[in-house]
Structure 1
């Protein structure tokens, strides 16, 4: 299988490490073999900066952008092409959101999740037992 996620202008990325870890950004310009200029949406709080490529996780979403464009152009393009929403609809985006929600749970919330999982498991086990007994009675 060929590699499809290339470092290119307009590629949506997730910062994997550092002060702005787990935030979404977009590549605006490529400086050299190992560094790129990134920019992000206003709500993410990531400033336009140079970052090492090793600190980025490249996503499948690409935004059509001119090279080295202004922050205002980047933000308009992200809004117009709904890039962040497209990423959040992917399996990876949903997984990231799920991890964020789980990380914000309090001790009591974790307890409630545990009780709900036990209850669900109990209901499934009960229903499977009922179905097994029905198949045994209908087979004989």
Structure 2
């Protein structure tokens, strides 16, 4: 399709660009409202931290994680305790983990729906353009 054909098609549909601009503005406004609402709601919610009383056993040295895992299994304890740092208090460690999980969830919930709607809009526009070009030729 030559540039003259494109220009002729665009002159035949003067409201097309106004509609595209209006849809883009609506999407941008809705995305800003959505992202702001998700961030504000998640920031104001209290942080739920699961308190764990277990710490890394004192017998586990910094370099013998494998031996520590086997020792914990033999004692019937949770083997994942071998990976806890010894110098960090358990409550602070679990609070930091809960904060990391919250940050990941907020980013995912805030950005995926607007991006998905934008991709869906591009796919629909591409399909309409493809159908119109095939039908016109």
Measured against the shorter chain, the TM-score band is: under 0.3
Richer in strand (by share): 1
Using CA pairs under 8 Å that are at least 6 residues apart, name the structure with larger relative contact order, 1 or 2.
Answer: 2
Q: Which structure: greater helix fraction?
A: 2
Using the size of structure 2 for normalisation, the TM-score is 0.27
**Length-normalised TM-score, structure 1:** 0.26
Computing the radius of gyration from Cα coordinates, the structure with the larger value is 2
